[in-house]
Amino acid sequence: MPTVTRSSAGLGATGPFAGAATGTVHDQVAVNVAALTELTRVMLPDLLAAGDGAIASIVGYQPAPGMAVYAASKAYVLSFTEALAHELRHTPLRVLALSPGSTRTEFYATSATSEKGVRFQTPREVVETGLRALDASRTPSRVVSGTRNRLNLAVLRRLPRRAALTIMANASRPT
Q: Is 172 left (phi over 0), alpha (psi -120 to 50) or beta?
A: alpha
- Measured from the Cβ of residue 9, the count of other Cβ atoms closer than 10 Å reads 11
Q: ∠ at Cα 146 (145, 149), nearest 5°? A: 95
158 DSSP 8-state letter: H
Q: Which of 61, 74, 76, 108 is catalytic?
A: 74
Q: Does residue number 166 form part of the binding site for ligand NAP (CB under 6 A)?
A: no
Q: ∠ at Cα 121 (84, 173), nearest 5°? A: 85
Indicate which single residue of 37, 102, 114, 141 sits in contact with ligand NAP (rule: CB under 6 A). Answer: 102
Cα separation, 141 vs 120, in Å, equals 24
Indicate which single residue of 79, 110, 170, 175 sits in contact with ligand NAP (rule: CB under 6 A). Answer: 110
Region near ligand NAP per CB under 6 A, out of 5-13, 134-142, 149-157, 160-168: 5-13
Of residues 110 and 166, the one with the C-beta less far from ligand NAP? 110
Region near ligand NAP per CB under 6 A, out of 4-12, 44-52, 148-156, 164-172: 4-12
Q: Does residue number 130 form part of the binding site for ligand NAP (CB under 6 A)?
A: no
Cα separation, 77 vs 98, in Å, equals 10
Residue 116 falls in the annotated catalytic set? no
- Segment 10 to 29, residues that bind ligand NAP, using CB under 6 A: 10-12, 27
Cα separation, 144 vs 149, in Å, equals 7
Residues engaged in binding ligand NAP (CB under 6 A): 8-12, 27, 31, 58, 100, 102-103, 105-108, 110
* Residues identified as active-site: 70, 74
